[in-house]
Chains A and B, each alone.
Chain A
């Protein structure tokens, strides 16, 4: 079972939690100054160590050499948050090492030599941290990991130095968005030193009221403190969203119901759907579910739709390259199937 086909804690507001740890090896330049030969050698060394792990709690892992994948396959992995766009750059020999349930992936030769990431449904930062740090500790014990007593773990960019940790949470904030409070909330989050991005991460814009919030500080605070601080902030925003939802449904119940049922109508009967429109409609139906206006579909369906509607994933499931109009048609069919019985 894939990790995202799960309903985690506080799933009414929180879609998923993710921890990313950056590590580098001594004796090799960072990927921005590395030769192709060195990147291949380092890749083998890291993969050898990863394959020696005796902890099989996340199931089997598969190894993907990026240059052996087609561009659609690579993009499909990007859309599912398993790898970053940078890993698809052909300059170096790059690998992804991905667990069966897709909750854990290790990128080799991205901006740093090693980027470990662990994802969980709902608010589960501690669990994600444990999964990621288990792998990090294994690598630290078996390889010459770059570390300085003063600065902690060394990284290519000084914005990651120290813990090398980025903790992020994807939040669904439709009520704050509708009541135009989201802007102020986002401003406050930024002032507190956190970054806010869209569902598809770096460079992506906010779609479907999905916000990705993560720490920017990595040095000067411990991993636990960073996680506790982020959780405090997240809980605070979640409460604001819940209050806004209550106010919305008590002040203008007809308006809300109308929006939700219209969204269901389009998702069920549209013959063409763009990914952006789908995300927006899913956002409204998800709100309806959280408010108790509808009792289907489940979070599971939402999560599955969201992980499969990206352009590359649509083409992958159809097994061929498709033009946008064709993709929109295939997407509408896929959504229709998920919405059956709603």
Chain B
């Protein structure tokens, strides 16, 4: 088996990893394993991998993905490869496969499909759920209060289905109470020097 990092040497080091319940194996040749610091730290019987092995898992994800495409060896197939070059920085899919790193922010548009597959393997999905650009963060209290409202809404639907209107009314009152609390929390969070007028950072 060839090394999943360089694709040239025979792999001699095989590392199993389990990320969020997904098992995968990275096969590396000795020199690649050395250069990314694999081999890990043995501690109390457990093998702790340094973070650079994470890079290995991206590369192996990319490797697997490429098997389903025409880019098996990083050699371009004429006519099909044209769209898989970032027109901003010139990064090709083959280069991305080799390095595991992207070339610029526009690469995310160029390699979206491939990235989605990488993200499905190494991340918790392929869609951003965090703070949006230039947005103020909501406190954890507000976020959990919002979640509480969502769960009460689900309870209302269930209660109505069961014709338990008394409980549904109770949940509704509870939602109103929490909404008021959220507004109060938001008001107390606005800082006097908070610069809300400046818009910037393109989306």
Contact = CB atoms under 8 A, between A and B. Distances in A.
Contact of A29 (B37, B55, B103): B103
Contact of B143 (A130, A163, A224): A224
Contacts of A198: 41
Contact of A24 (B21, B41, B58, B105): B105
Contact of A154 (B51, B108, B119, B131): B108
Nearest to A231: B140
Interface residues of A, number: 73
Interface residues of B, number: 65
24 contacts: A33-B89, A111-B101, A133-B131, A133-B137, A141-B198, A141-B200, A144-B202, A159-B54, A159-B123, A161-B119, A162-B129, A186-B46, A190-B49, A197-B48, A202-B51, A203-B37, A203-B50, A203-B52, A219-B128, A220-B124, A221-B124, A223-B137, A224-B137, A224-B140
A216 interface: yes
B115 interface: yes
Nearest to B40: A205
B199 A141 contact: yes
Interface in A213-234: 216-225, 227-228
Interface string A45-82: 00000000011000000000000000000000000000
A184 B46 contact: yes
B138 A154 contact: no
A221 B102 contact: no
A163 B55 CA distance: 18
B147 to A, nearest CB: 10
Interface in A137-169: 137, 140-159, 161-163, 165
B121 to A, nearest CB: 10
Interface of A: 24-26, 28-30, 32-33, 54-55, 111, 126, 129-130, 133, 137, 140-159, 161-163, 165, 177, 180-184, 186-187, 190-193, 195-198, 202-206, 216-225, 227-228
B125 to A, nearest CB: 3
Contacts of A25: 105
Interface string B31-51: 000000100010111101111
Contact of A190 (B18, B106, B198): B18
A33 B108 contact: no
A150 B41 contact: no
Q: Of B103, B128, B135, B198, which is in contact with the most chain A CB atoms at under 10 Å from its CB?
A: B128
Contact of A221 (B54, B129, B135): B129
A304 to B, nearest CB: 27
Contact of A228 (B18, B138, B140): B140
B133 interface: yes
Contacts of B58: 157-159
Contacts of B6: none
B20 A193 contact: yes
Given A151-B108, A216-B19, A159 B122 contact: yes
Contacts of B91: 33
A222 B146 CA distance: 14
A88 to B, nearest CB: 17
Contact of A217 (B18, B106, B124): B124
Given A32-B99, A54-B193, A217-B124, A223 B203 contact: no
B100 interface: yes
Contacts of A129: 137
Contact of A196 (B48, B118, B203): B48
Interface string B100-118: 1111111111001001001
A337 to B, nearest CB: 32
B87 to A, nearest CB: 12
Given A143-B200, A148-B108, A193-B20, A180 B44 contact: yes
